[in-house]
Structure 1
């Protein structure tokens, strides 16, 4: 692997190598490359915004952010982000990372799809979300130079049909636990992908509750 991409040094510590090996064992190349691009976009955002952040923890957070979509979590009662966050925290603690740092990564992974919250938390939480959102939906796309975007995609290609394939990967990770998508962007995924999915409506729940008025 090229150790410097778009001006960002890829973490190469024992922890970073162990995290990459762990994710390689459970995720497809499509989602692994997405995670690596997300790290690079996140790190570039941190530098551009003059934020203080731990690149090693940022790397682990972005690598683990989608692990909850893997097959072993299909019957989980949790949102996939929570399963991802739990696994990231367990991995970090098992590798000697302190509880406070591990909790920061947990928050970053758990909140990476929740609009309006990450930017009011730690730099790590903000950056994991920013990196993921840039790679998934092009958030702040033109704040990165064409050279930066090209270098990142050359290192970790967006395979043909990436957009549709990523939506399918999300859907397959949640189709067996549709109730966990209530109130989240994940409901949009199943609404588009699964013809049998019926999203819950907050107003309907309020008006249809057991309260008499």
Structure 2
């Protein structure tokens, strides 16, 4: 991987290198390239907006943000975002990173698919979310020049990203559909099976044991 991508230096500390090595062991090329693009796009936005952010923490958050989609980090009861967040926090703890910084990375990963909230939080959280949004659904696409986008894609090719990413997300969602209710992850199940129905919030409220 290039040391610099579209003007963004890839962190090269011991922690950064070991984080990348760990994620590479478990993610396929599609997910790993996506994770690096999330970092680069997020960092580019942070610089453009003159935000003060920890590049190393943003890099770790970006690398680990989809790790919960792979079998080695999959749990039965937690959202995939939380699985990845837990893995990142444990990794940082074992490397002596102070708890507040490990918690910051946890929040950035756990909230990366949550709409309407991360952009108002600390830069590392907001920029992880921004990198995900531009790379997956194109939100903010025109904030980057064609040259910037081309340079990122040249360093971290997309391949058949759209179809492969949807397939990975769908496989994860189908393994634990109860974790997708109330999140965008439900859409992956419904796209595969339009007859699938999530619990209705109004029905759940009406069916509680309360009298009124």
In the superposition, the TM-score normalised over structure 1's length comes to: 0.95
Asked whether 1:44 is paired with 2:82, we answer no
CA distance in 1, matches of 2:133, 2:100: 25
CA distance in 1, matches of 2:151, 2:19: 23
Q: Which residue of 2 aligns with 1:133?
A: 133
Point out where structure 2 has 5 or more consecutive residues left out of the alignment: none
Q: Which residue of 2 aligns with 1:148?
A: 148
**Do the aligned partners of 2:66 and 2:84 also contact (CA within 8 Å) in 1?**
yes
CA offset at residue 72 of structure 1? 3.2
CA distance in 2, matches of 1:116, 1:54: 23
CA offset at residue 202 of structure 1? 1.1
| Corresponding residue pairs, total | 212
- TM alignment of 1:8-157, pairs within 5 A: 8-157=8-157
Asked whether 1:175 is paired with 2:174, we answer yes
Q: Which residue of 2 aligns with 1:166?
A: 165
**Do the aligned partners of 1:92 and 1:102 also contact (CA within 8 Å) in 2?**
yes
Point out where structure 1 has 5 or more consecutive residues left out of the alignment: none
CA offset at residue 164 of structure 1? 1.8
CA offset at residue 198 of structure 1? 2.4
Aligned-residue CA RMSD (Å):
1.3
> Helix, strand or coil: the match of 1:96?
coil
CA offset at residue 75 of structure 1? 4.4
